[in-house]
Each structure stands twice: as C-alpha cells, then as structure tokens.
Structure 1
C-alpha cells in the first residue's frame, strides 16, 4: 500500500459533514492506494483485524503527533453502534468528511484503537 497515495486521496475529501459512510470512504482510499482487501467488515468499529492483515500495527494513540497514513477507530457505543474510522492525510483527520478534530463524538467514554504502517 502506498501511504502517500492514501494520504493524497484523503486530502481530496472536502465535505465538512458526515454522510455516515466512514468505513466505506476509508476502504475505498485504502484500495485505491494499493491495499488488497478480500473481505471487510461493514462496521467501522470492526476494522482492526482487517488493518492488521494489511500490515498496520496497533499502537498507543498518538493524536498529538500523528503521521501520514495513521488510522484510528472509535469502538461502537450505545449511541453509535457502528463506531467510526478515519485516516490522517498529513494535515487533517478525514473519514467521509474532513474532520475538525479526531474527537468527533465529544464523549470521554469512547475507546480508541490507533494503527500505523511500519516504515
């Protein structure tokens, strides 16, 4: 997978509101940048194993110093049964829209998973 291409594809997403299709948006960007995805979950919160099969490593969240191509997942909650997934373009967190911050749920009780491709 080409991290630069993935980041460029994310940067082209300019919507400012969600379409509720974050997992689809990230999947398309991953596939368009060379990721071979055979089967994939529908829910964003279930994408961790798929990312690891693609070579991503689960690491401690690093929202204060993200790197191009990093991906985070918000696990499902009672209010958001599908969770959320977004990638870092090099300047912004992007899912199906350009986010103002990683903290899209504004809920202190959410569980984050954070993934990075090794160099």
Structure 2
C-alpha cells in the first residue's frame, strides 16, 4: 500500500480538467490518484465510476460517515451511483481543496442537473493509509 499525496493528485486533476464533461470521470480520477501515489488498475469489469468504492478501500481509503462528509477535505473521493435515465456507469469525483473535479471542474459534488435532481446514493471516501 502506498502513501497518498493528495496535493499532487489535486494538482493533476486541476491541470487536466476540461471545461465540460467528456464522460471520462473514472479515467481522470484514476490518473489523479496514480499521480498522488495510489494505483487503481484499469480493470474493465470494475472501471465504471459506480464501482470505485471497493477499489478505494483496497488502497487504504475509508468510507466517511454522513457527519464527516459535511466538510470535504482535499483528496476526498465521492462515488455516486447511477440514476434512472442517467449514465449507467455512475460518477466519481475528487475534492481538490477548493471544488469537486472529475474530468471537469464541477459546481458541486453532483456534477450536473440529473444528479442534482435525482440525488442517487453516494459514498465519500478519505485516504487513511494502512490501518493497524
């Protein structure tokens, strides 16, 4: 298990963000995590954004409680499930310390009007490293 440099991951995301979504949230978050020292394999069966929770846990991230989610910290990753009529892959995004960014700079964690309206289930993860 590696150390996670959340500042480097956030810098990578900010430096590679598009103006609008290119439907590449999982790829961008995976590459940002890699830049920060976390290797999430690009395994086809698990690469959909909605499946990132277990991948993050395998690397030392933990799921935050609802109370902990109120104040996101740089490096937090939100994994959002799909909603009816939306992208079946779901969405994944990282908090850079200033805003949520996936493959684009978002106005909030939800990433768009469909997610904002439907508010599908989501979980937020924070890196804690190796647990004793």
Is the TM value for this pair above 0.5?
yes
Gaps of 5+ in 1: none
Matches of 2:56 and 2:109, distance apart in 1: 18
**Cα distance 1:39–1:22, how it changes in 2: closer, same or farther (>3 A)?**
closer
Q: CA RMSD in A?
A: 1.8
Q: Equivalent residue of 1:47, what SS?
A: helix
**Contact 1:70/1:87 (8 A) holds in 2:** yes
Question: TM-score, normalised on structure 2?
Answer: 0.81
**Contact 2:17/2:102 (8 A) holds in 1:** no
- Which has the higher Rg, Structure 1 or Structure 2? 2
Structure 1 residue runs of 4 or more that deviate by more than 3 Å after TM superposition: 61-64
Matches of 2:33 and 2:119, distance apart in 1: 28
Candidates 71, 74, 79, aligned match of 1:68: 74
Higher helix proportion: 2
Matches of 1:109 and 1:85, distance apart in 2: 14
* Match status 1:89 vs 2:96: yes
Matches of 2:12 and 2:25, distance apart in 1: 14
Query: What corresponds to 2:123 in structure 1?
Result: 113
Residue by residue over 1:68-114, the C-alpha shift from the partner in whole angstroms, topping out at 9 and shown as x without a partner, is 00000111222221000000111010000000111222224410111
